[in-house]
Amino acid sequence: MKKIDKNNRILLALRLQSVSEVGDKSLEEKDPISQDYGSASSGDVKKVIDLYNRGEEVIEYLNLYIKKAKEVGDKHGEGNAYGNLGYAYFSLGDFKKAIEYHNLHLRIAKEVGDRHEEGGAYCNLGSAYFRLGDFKKAIEYHNL
């Protein structure tokens, strides 16, 4: 299995900033497998969305990353990318869509036995339910 995750947490922010500086090129010209979009931290995703107003592009890159992760069988990278998609939608105010992707992240974290990622997914689900005003579910997820 080819490993995608290079633990380069800031690459997403730098890559998106450099793309904006050199002009728009189609995403098909970029090879997401050589990038580290899926493992960028949620703080990096938020920074790109907030500072560069590039939310839709972040989502597009992460979807390409997920496709490539599936092709090479990198479940960990796929799960991280789902979590970052959830965080991207959360940052954009689409809390229902955030919940959808955080649930996918949670499912994969459980599947691969990654308790750390599982805990992060529970926390993110709790935060999304809180923003939707479903305080009972928010408390449930934050207590898991």
CATH code at position 48:
1.25.40.10
**Average pLDDT of span 18-32:** 41
User: Minimum mean pLDDT among 38-47, 104-113, 124-133: which range?
Assistant: 38-47
Indicate whether 69 belongs to any domain.
Answer: yes
Predicted pLDDT at 129: 95
**pLDDT tens for each residue of 45-90:** 665 666 556 777 788 888 888 888 888 888 988 898 899 899 889 9
For residue 115, what are the domain limits?
43-143
Indicate whether 10 belongs to any domain.
Answer: no
6 has a pLDDT exceeding 90: no
Greatest CA separation for the chain: 47
Distance in angstroms (rounded) separating the CA atoms of residues 54 and 107: 27
Indicate whether 90 belongs to any domain.
Answer: yes
Indicate whether 92 belongs to any domain.
Answer: yes
| CB neighbour burial string for 28-49, b if at least 16 within 10 angstroms, e if fewer | eeeebbebbbbbbbbebbbbbb
Alpha helices in 73-94 (DSSP H): 75-91
**Residue 124 token pair:** 């993110």
38 has a pLDDT exceeding 50: no
pTM for the predicted model, two decimal places = 0.70
Distance in angstroms (rounded) separating the CA atoms of residues 55 and 34: 21
2 has a pLDDT exceeding 60: no
**29 vs 22, more confident:** 29
